Structure 1
Amino acid sequence: MGLLALASSVFADVKYSVVAFPENPANQIAVVVNGKPHRLQTIENTPVWSATVPGVSGSDAYYYAEVDSADKEIAREKFERRLSDVSKSATPNEFFGREQTFFPVPKLEQVFAGGRKNPSKIFDDTQIATMHFQVDAARFATMMENPHIKDLKAPKASLAFINADIIYTADDVKFSVSGNSSRMLEKVSLKASFPKTLPEGDLFSDRRNIKLRAEATDPSMMREMLYSKCLEKLGVLASEASWVRVYVNNKPQGLYLMMQDIEDDFIMNTIHQGTITNKTELGSLYQMTQAEAPMAYISDNAADYGEIYDTKFSMNVGKKEPGGKKDPKKNAERDAKKLERWITFMKDLHVFQSDNKDPVAYWSDKLELQSYLVAMVMEYLTGACDLFMRRGHNYAMYYNSKTSRYHFIPMDFDLTFNNCPKDRPNPELSYEKWVPEGAVRPLVTKLIYNNEIIKKEFEKVLFTVTKKLFNPRILFPLIDAYAQQIKAEVEWDSGVQRTTRTGVNFIENTVSFDVSINGPGNNKGSTKDVKETNKGSSKDVKDTNTGSTKDVKDTNTGSTEDVNDTNTGSTEDIDDTNTGSTEDIDDTNTGSTEDVTDTNTSSTRRAKDARKCKSKKTKGADRCRGRKSKGGRKCRSKKAKDADRCGGKKSKGGRKCRSKKAKGTDGCRTCKVKRADEGSVGMVEGIKPFIELRSKYILENFRKYENAV
């Protein structure tokens, strides 16, 4: 028996399968085992090449190669493979040129109840799937060259979806450009809509509307995935996500994040957990279409709301009557009826008073309150600068007719985890300042800011989420695993030629993959690493005119922690740590950033003892373009009594600006930018440093909820 088993392992037949796109369509893919090539054949309508090779063992080394008609290798993998389990008689569906198919990913604990009960096989964060669309080349080219034309008719495509275990094909898939302002970017997001006629049990039957997010605004291409995974573990019903390689007509389009679009099928398999399969049984879904949709009541007249809210579908409103498209009056009546219930919700919010004796009960009858509070906690924790609190959009509201309550549904998470081009937050920013001053957000201000009972609930959730999820101990291993999984894909994506159209490159995409995750100097998100990256010790920092904790306070930054962080891009705190003028600063605390790095200087000239600024030498440690100031620093004009000035009128608190007075301890050249402690200017670069500093701030300032966790 033992000899038979040994013989079977030595002389087994092994089936090899690989996804590949030969450079020359006339060539084929072969697997080379023990130095001998074996041609593979494509599986119909897919880019999967496969064949069973007799007389080989699962322990034999092999690699894939592109070969010509004479079996000459045109291109080959630069490594050798082996089956991870030699007892297996088949490989998974591998990908040509990628050594690893599966990636170990840490499992996060569920923090709050809720979430999906029926996750889909297509969303697997331990591997990267491939989606290959075959579509009319001319129509696809027109679509990609004109992404701004939203009403361009979507071409129909055939799709092959392949991951390690699945080979799936479908026809009549609508293939289109997705998004709003992102249509102007060089790499645009895409959408695949499957026909409603898919049979029950089909792989995509309950995930018919798929978004392929380009992640063109995120150099790490990780933030949206990370945010989605956190929401899942916090019980918030949002789209599942996983990365896919996208090809069209055998040509690469790049790496995308596959997510489910917020449509009727999403509502059915998330909120209703598959208990509803007919759209007519659903409630009403309202999606915000404008740059700002603040949930502010205007009047009972639907026309007064313009096109702020798009009713994706609404209960008690059937199909358009015959001729409805030609009858503006009937259409207006129908649209008004759609919005009636939503206007009622906004009106309830409008009349709500903060002194309500039982606000939790009041709002729990109208809103899934816990889920909403968790969603707001995530927005604040991650510095989400393009979601509801900050911008008033990228969300939907679903009225569940079964419970008579609304569900807040967040979406589009690429500008999270401190990925904000113009208003990157201070990690120590209070949540009560994350809604911009003067912005209308009644669902935030009335419930969270002004009502002490709900505010307390929010703070409990904030502390709990930070303690159990949003901290380095929990998230850093996941971030590292994701980084290992996609780093090669991100590099590949950056070299893909998708279109001849010249689109917009997102301003922040000049940051590298590693810096976007770990911060400048390739630190790993540790305060110690940040400090050592900048100068290595408090003595070194002092030598560059930052000094010790005391010295930092003298220069209007407050703590050693701020020293570490001000070397990463806060124009205000950088100015406060002796850089002179915000004019000279470009997110690196160097002044003349192209020539000087990590030295806390503001010109390319050398300075004795630490610093010099475009004028005469200074004996102490600092100068800045002008006359001497008391406290060790020079600015452009008159003396500054404390430690900081900036060439203009005085401000209360020790700093000058060029124009109007600044009330706090900080200002700026035009006073148009808010203080850094109000979250306008970035304090740190990178996902990890921000998580570390934000979580530390929360855990230190909300300890009173320790026993509630």
Structure 2
Amino acid sequence: FTGVIEADNINEYHYVSLDDTNNVIEEETIKRTYSDANANLNEVFNRSNKNVEIKDLPKPFKPMFTMGSKKFKPFPKNVIYNIYAKCGENEYSDLINNPFVDGLSTNKNVANCTITIVEPNSKFQTDGSFHVIGFGSRKYKKLSFGMKFNNKFLGRKAIKLRAMSFDSSLIREPLVIELFKSVGVPVQEGAYARLTINDQVFGLYNMIDSFNDRWMGAYIHGDEKAKIGITYKLSSKHPMGPYADLRYLGDEPELYERGTYLVDEYEKKDINPEDINALYTPIMNFTKLFDQWVNTYGNDQSQVAIDELKKFLNIESLLRLMVVESLVMALDNFWLIIGNTALYYNPERGNYQFIPFDFDEAFYGSFGNEMFTQPKAEIMQDCIHWADQEDSPADHYFTNNLLAHPQIKERYEVILAIASRELFDSKYLTPYIQSIVELIKEDVDWNFYLAANIQSTYDGRVQQYTLQDFENNLSYDKTNYDREERLNHSEYGLAEYIDLRGDSCRANTANVNTSNNQNISDDVDISQFVDAEGNLLDSSSSATSSMKKLSLLFIFMHIILLLL
């Protein structure tokens, strides 16, 4: 909605929502003060105009990747975007009412839409499409979506909207993403967004980059148009298997077409999608190289073993990934279940690296997970072997052989020791969390109400979260606090988890010498792209240059401006 008000003097104003006959049905509870500064802002009904500084987290390790490019910058963290989609009614109804087909397979249909994205100073509009994403997240009434655009939005042709349906903090996954970024591991990052489709308001989402060639080009190679290699998404079925164990199966590429290595992104002009040999030779080569390394250097504790391994594997990036997974206790990712991770052949460096994605089962604790056989307190206090116990149902062939080398394990422990002291500590994480809370707090109760009242025929799960549930994640009662008793629980609020896990990881590494913080591999110089903190050079936002101005924005369809 846009409008112009003519008046001799405007001091304060607010908005009301009208029905089709211009009767007031709701009035803002906030009062607005008019000024030249906000005269052209896009304003959201019953939401304050925010100017929040999102606190940065420390970056204690040498950058290895650009984490963006001049035309594909990270999303601003201090903005809540507003997404409005007008989709074909039948296509839209099919998506929200039938996320599963026959109750088993996923609905892969798309809805064609006109998509409008608005932030306080700008507007973007394009034709595009929506589709439902995820598997576990489809079990919830509030679905997660993928968007594709005909025109580029901030350099992107695709974005994911993750519903955060089972996170009462609304912060866990964004915080995991920020931790990966802080240790220099490429990860799809994003911002918060409010979503409305066909006048149905869905609530608050985590709007993040899609895992695609443009993101890989920008974040890994410094150019969204860079030539990429090939990625395989590791897909394991736990607890019974099969697992993407990265074992060598032989010299026939078709042996790797078994459902655990899902071919994802690659240069379509270079590889015929029907050519099985071309598609699976890179994963075959990786498993063969690692198998040869294990057989040749499994008992070799010399530097030669490291030199040979780093010829084909980015060891440093993988160890940093494993440290973050250990700190946040990622229950659905690489180390524990060998899933929600991509293996990427990097043609620029001629080696392979692991890329994490989807972190909706982190920052909770053991959470009753069937992969754990040891007592809850042991899991919570173990940051070294928490994921690879001998009686684990998963096949940890790859990580077990990797960490069996003393220099590799030593580097893992150094990264863990530094990260748990200089990053994963409440004195660093709490200011970041508090700044996020300041940004989203007006949307929390609203979001929980909407999630429980989405209009669809799908009988999906609904989490009846409240504002109190949200606040319980931000602090906990330390009066007469019994740490030993609390360690025997399987789930924690966010603040308590950070303290318990951080203390445990610091205790695990109390005797680790951290004086040498040099990369074990890929000790590259990317100073032409980033500063010493890993921030993109010339990193001013491109948002306003690529979006058009809009004067006023509201969630409700019919509004009138009241002058006081």
Q: TM-score range by the shorter chain?
A: 0.7 to 0.9
- Larger relative contact order, structure 1 or 2 (CA cutoff 8 Å, min sep 6): 2
Per the TM alignment, residue 103 of structure 1 is displaced from its structure 2 partner at its CA by 2.6
Distance 2:405 2:234 in 1: 26
Q: Which runs of 5+ in 2 are unaligned?
A: 238-242, 370-375, 518-564
Output the CA distance in 1 between the equivalents of 2:250 and 2:24: 71
Q: What is the Cα deviation at residue 152 of structure 1?
A: 3.8
The AA in structure 2 aligned to 1:181 is: G
Q: In 2 relative to 1, CA 80–510 (structure 1 residues): closer, same or farther, beyond 3 Å?
A: closer
- C-alpha change, 1:365 and 1:510, in structure 2 (3 Å) is farther
Give yes or no for contact 1:187–1:503 (8 Å, CA) kept in 2. Answer: no
Q: 1:512 to 1:82 in 2, by over 3 A?
A: same
Q: Deviation per CA, 1:110-133: give whole Å up to 9, x if none.
A: 222245243756722212111111
Partner of residue 501 from structure 1, selected from 438, 443, 457: 457
**Offset at residue 258 of structure 1 (A):** 0.6
Q: Secondary structure at the match of 1:370?
A: helix
Does the residue aligned with 1:194 lie in a helix, a strand or coil? strand
- Matched to 1:193, the amino acid is K
Equivalent position SS for 1:705: coil
> Aligned equivalents of 2:230 and 2:131: distance in 1?
25
Q: 1:355 aligns with which of 299, 320, 323?
A: 299
Could you say what the CA RMSD is over the residues aligned between the two structures, in angstroms?
2.7
Q: Is residue 2:283 matched to residue 1:342?
A: yes
The answer (yes or no) to whether the contact 1:372–1:407 under 8 Å persists in 2 is yes
1:227 corresponds in structure 2 to: 176
Q: TM-score, normalised by structure 1?
A: 0.64
Q: Residue 286 of structure 1 aligns to a residue in which SS?
A: strand
Say if 1:245 and 1:254, in contact at 8 Å, map to a contact too. yes
2:141/2:458 contact within 8 Å kept: yes
Q: Which residue of 192, 197, 217 corresponds with 1:243?
A: 192
**CA offsets per residue over residues 264-310 of structure 1, 9 Å max, x none?**
11111111111x626xx321121224434232322333333312112
Query: How far apart, in 2, do the equivalents of 1:89 and 1:241 lie?
Result: 25
> Is structure 2 residue 420 aligned with structure 1 residue 460?
no
Q: Larger deviation: 92-101 or 106-115? A: 106-115
- C-alpha deviations, 1:72-98, integer Å up to 9, x for none? 533210120125xx4526242121011
Does residue 293 of structure 1 match 2:244? Answer: yes
**Counterpart in 1 of 2:310?**
364
CA distance in 2, matches of 1:513, 1:361: 53
2:118 aligned with 1:118, yes or no?
Answer: no
Deviation at 1:243, TM superposition (A): 0.9
The one of 332, 353, 357 aligned to 1:407: 353
Is the alpha carbon distance of 1:419 and 1:118 closer, same or farther for their aligned partners in structure 2, counting shifts above 3 Å?
Answer: farther
Match of 2:39 among 87, 90, 96: 90
Counterparts of 2:281 and 2:207, CA distance in 1:
34
Q: 1:435 aligns with which of 356, 379, 388?
A: 388
| 3-state secondary structure, aligned to 2:159 | strand
- Alpha-carbon spacing, 1:454–1:122, altered in 2? closer, same or farther (3 Å): closer
Secondary structure at the aligned position of 1:126 is classed as coil
Q: 1:457 to 1:122 in 2, by over 3 A?
A: closer
Query: Quick one: distance in 1 between partners of 2:90 and 2:188?
Result: 32
Q: For residues 240 and 463 of structure 1, do their structure 2 counterparts lie closer, same or farther at Cα, with a shift above 3 Å needed?
A: same
Secondary structure at the residue paired with 2:4?
strand
Query: What is the identity percentage for the equivalent residue pairs of Structure 1 and Structure 2?
Result: 21
Contact 1:349 1:442 (C-alpha < 8 Å) held by counterparts? no
Cα distance change, pair 185–251 in 1 and its aligned pair in 2 (3 A): closer
Question: Relative to structure 1, is the Cα distance of residues 502 and 136 closer, same or farther in structure 2, using a 3 angstrom cutoff?
Answer: closer
Q: What's 2:501 paired with?
A: 694
In the alignment, is the contact (CA less than 8 A) between 2:382 and 2:505 conserved in 1?
Answer: no
In structure 2, how many angstroms separate the alpha carbons of the residues matched to 1:247 and 1:182?
19
1:174 aligned to which of 106, 109, 129? 129
The alpha carbon displacement at 1:246 in A equals 0.5
- 1:444 Cα deviation from its structure 2 partner: 1.5
Match of 2:207 in 1: 258
The one of 48, 58, 63 equivalent to 1:99 is 48
AA aligned opposite 2:317: S
Counterpart in the other structure of 1:162: 118
* Rounded Cα–Cα distance in structure 2 between residues aligned with 1:707 and 1:392: 32
* Distance change in 2, residues 1:510/1:250 (3 Å): closer
Computing the radius of gyration from Cα coordinates, the structure with the larger value is 1
SS in 2 for 1:277: coil
The corresponding residue for 1:18 is none
The answer as to whether partners of 1:294 and 1:393 remain within 8 angstroms in 2 is no
Q: TM-score, normalised to structure 2's length?
A: 0.79
Query: What amino acid maps onto 1:705 in structure 2?
Result: N
Give the Cα–Cα distance (whole angstroms) in 2 for the partners of residues 239 and 168 of structure 1: 21
Determine the structure 1 residue equivalent to 2:423.
469
1:138 and 2:90 matched: yes
Is the 8 Å Cα contact of residues 365 and 380 (structure 2) preserved in structure 1?
A: no
User: What is the SS of the residue equivalent to 1:386?
Assistant: coil
Match of 1:77 in 2: 28
Whether 2:466 is the aligned partner of 1:561: answer no
| Superposition deviation, residue 311 in structure 1 | 1.3
The one-character-per-residue Cα deviations of 1:1-22 (angstroms, maximum 9, x if unpaired) are xxxxxxxxxxxxxxxxxxxxxx
Preserved contact between residue 101 and residue 164 of structure 1 (Cα < 8 Å):
no
Deviation at 1:380, TM superposition (A): 0.5
The count of aligned residue pairs is: 487
Distance across 1 between alignment mates of 2:395 and 2:329: 19
Q: Secondary structure at the match of 2:285?
A: helix
Q: Which residue of 2 aligns with 1:549?
A: none
The answer as to whether partners of 2:91 and 2:112 remain within 8 angstroms in 1 is: no
SS in 1 for 2:380: coil
**Residue matched to 2:555:** none
Task: Tell me if structure 2 keeps the 8 A contact 1:220–1:513.
Answer: no
SS of match in other structure, 2:513: helix
Q: Does 1:382 find its partner at 2:328? A: yes
1:216 matched to 2:24: no
Are 1:184 and 2:115 counterparts?
A: no
Q: In structure 2, do the counterparts of structure 1 residues 364 and 503 end up closer, same or farther at CA, with 3 Å as the change threshold? A: farther
Query: Using the alignment, how far apart are the partners of 2:269 and 2:401 within structure 1?
Result: 31
Structure 1: gaps spanning 5 or more residues: 1-41, 43-48, 322-330, 538-559, 571-681
Task: Indicate which of 510, 513, 516 corresponds to 1:705.
Answer: 513
CA separation in 1, counterparts of 2:492 and 2:271? 50
Mapped to 1, the partners of 2:499 and 2:33 lie a distance apart of 39
Separation in 2, partners of 1:402, 1:122: 22
Query: Is contact 2:366-2:380 (8 Å) kept?
Result: no
1:363 is displaced (CA, Å) by 2.6
Q: State how far apart, in whole Å, the 2-side matches of 1:151 and 1:483 are.
A: 34
Question: Mean Cα displacement is larger for which, 246-255 or 298-307?
Answer: 298-307
Q: Which amino acid aligns with 1:431?
A: I
What is the deviation of 1:490? Answer: 3.0
Matches of 2:401 and 2:191, distance apart in 1? 36
Aligned to 1:19: none
In structure 1, what residue type is equivalent to 2:153? L
Aligned to 2:362: 416
1:276-675 → structure 2 map (5 Å cutoff): 277=225, 281-291=227-237, 292-305=243-256, 306-314=258-266, 318=270, 320=272, 331=274, 334-351=275-292, 352=294, 353-356=297-300, 357-358=302-303, 359-418=305-364, 421-423=367-369, 426-436=379-389, 437-438=391-392, 439-448=394-403, 450-496=404-450, 497-505=453-461, 509=463, 514-515=468-469, 518=472, 524-525=475-476, 529-530=477-478, 532=479, 536=480, 561-563=483-485, 565=486, 570=489
